[in-house]
Amino acid sequence: MKKGFFILLLLLALYSNNSWSQVNLLNAKVPQEVGLEQEEKSNPIAYGYIDDRDVLWSKTVWEIIDLNERINFPLYYPTINNGLLSSSRKSLYRILYDHIVDGSITEIYSTSYFNDSEKLTFEDLTDILESKNLSPEGISKANAGEQITDDDYDIYRIATDKIAQYRIKGTWYFNKRLGELKYRLLGIAPVAPDVSTLSQGPEAMQDALVPLFWIWFPDAREVLANNLVFNPRNSSQGISFDHLLNSRRFNATIYKEENVYEDRQVNEYIYEDALRQLLESERIKAEIRDFELDMWNN
């Protein structure tokens, strides 16, 4: 009896879950009806209020999420906007860019310190994300004194396939009221080759990686909460980008921590030694992790 009841509950749970990537797939009469029911909006995961007096200890760190690592692939793919997968699945960069264009995300800055003087508009991003160079035909026309038109320029743009990393800024803090170590993501920046190097080949691009812009993460949370990440193990159970980033379902390497030396980066005091830089990153991680353990061992 109990076994039959358990099986019934399992079946009900399975049938009650709609497919996030193929909504209405089983009921669609024509292909255009697939996905039509995915109209409801999701709210970001509630943080709750944190009183400054409850923060016993904190440390702000900057990290690099390398998109070449398999665990970070959900932040990178799909790279091609072909109208097929892209109608239901988008890369993190495309989500951020599209909602900057439509005005849903407005807190965009040139650095991770988010000063008012560093705030960017969409027009400011044009020079960062797009480059126009005279084509060989255009150069020939210019040398001959002929009129140059827009067709004589080669246009290079930063798209999803050019994103190599993400940089994130966040604060680890110990909440003495709850007795827990918590993490709060504050900023995120896509990293790609400098747009001026796109015409110079892969080697030049690889050596010119720069953060394109920094987004104040709380301003993007509503957008990210309504865009789902592909789950390779179960396509009917996706999670939102907001959930993925807040729960740290990615691998990252610390490249900077707040410090008295004007927040210098690890590679500024450990020169040309990738192994020692990685060990230093792990040391900072261990220091943060051990703080919570030490709270209960003293």
Q: What's the pLDDT tens digit per position in 100-156?
A: 999 999 999 999 999 999 999 888 898 889 888 777 777 777 777 777 776 777 788
Give long-range contacts, CB 8 A cutoff, 24+ apart: 26-34: none
Of 83-87, 230-234, 275-279, give the range with the top mean pLDDT: 275-279
Residue 189 is given by DSSP the state E
* Predicted pLDDT at 198: 78
DSSP for 137-167 reads: HHHHHHHTTPPP-GGGEEEEE--GGG--EEE
- What six digits make up the tokens of 285? 């991680």
User: For the chain, how many structural domains are there in total?
Assistant: 1
Bridge partners, residue 2, by sequence: none
> Percent of the chain at pLDDT above 70?
82
- Three-state DSSP at 277 gives helix
* Predicted pLDDT at 244: 94
Cβ-based burial of 198 (10 A; exposed 0-12, middle 13-18, buried ≥19): buried
262 within some domain: yes
**Mean per-residue pLDDT for 237-254?**
92
DSSP for 216-276 reads: EHHHHHHHHHTSEEP-TT-TT--EEHHHHHHTT-S--EEEEE--TTTT-BGGGTS-S-HHH
Choose between 12 and 109: higher pLDDT.
109
Q: Over the chain, what is the mean pLDDT? A: 83
- Nearest one of 196, 80, 189 to 132, comparing CA atoms: 196
Which pLDDT tens digit goes with each residue over 32-61?
666 665 556 778 888 888 899 999 999 999
Domain with 196 in it: 54-129+159-295
45 within some domain: no
Q: How far apart are CA 74 and CA 228, in angstroms?
A: 10
The alpha-helical segments, DSSP class H, found in 226-298 are: 241-246, 274-295
* Predicted pLDDT at 265: 95
**Mean per-residue pLDDT for 247-275?**
94
195 within some domain: yes
Handedness of CA 214, 126, 163, 87 (dihedral sign): positive
pLDDT above 60 for 15: no
121 within some domain: yes
* Predicted pLDDT at 49: 86
145's CB contacts (< 8 A; 6+ apart) are none
pLDDT band of 199, cuts 50, 70, 90: confident
115 within some domain: yes
252 within some domain: yes
174 within some domain: yes
Which pLDDT tens digit goes with each residue over 60-102?
999 999 999 999 999 998 888 765 555 678 899 999 999 999 9
* Predicted pLDDT at 89: 81
* Predicted pLDDT at 14: 45
Choose between 205 and 111: higher pLDDT.
111
Which pLDDT tens digit goes with each residue over 235-244?
777 789 999 9
pLDDT above 80 for 272: yes
* Predicted pLDDT at 92: 95
Q: What does the radius of gyration of the chain's CA atoms come to, in whole angstroms?
A: 23
* Predicted pLDDT at 196: 80
73 within some domain: yes
> Percent of the chain at pLDDT above 90?
48
21-35, 239-253, 266-280, 282-296: range with lowest mean pLDDT: 21-35
* Predicted pLDDT at 82: 63
